[in-house]
Amino acid sequence: MSHPFSSLSPDLVMSAVESLNVWPAGEPFALNSYENRVLMFRDDEGKNWIVRVLSP
C-alpha cells in the first residue's frame, strides 16, 4: 500500500496555491516534516508564505 502523499508533488501543491490567486515568484522550498507536506515560497509581491498539507 502506498502512502497517501506519494502522488502529492510540489507542483500539485503550488497549483492549489495558484487556484487561490496567490502567485509564487519562484520555486517552493520543501521544509522538513514527517507526515505533512510543507512548502515555503515568496509571492510576486514579496510576501513569504508557508503551505502545509496535512496527512489524512
**What is the per-residue pLDDT across 1-46, written as a single tens digit (0 to 9) for each?**
677 677 778 888 889 899 999 999 988 898 988 778 899 999 999 9
For residues 48 and 40, the answer to whether their CB atoms sit within 8 Å is: yes
What are the structural domain ranges in the chain? 10-53
> Residue 19: its pLDDT value, please?
95
For residues 24 and 18, the answer to whether their CB atoms sit within 8 Å is: yes
> Residue 41: its pLDDT value, please?
94
> Residue 2: its pLDDT value, please?
72
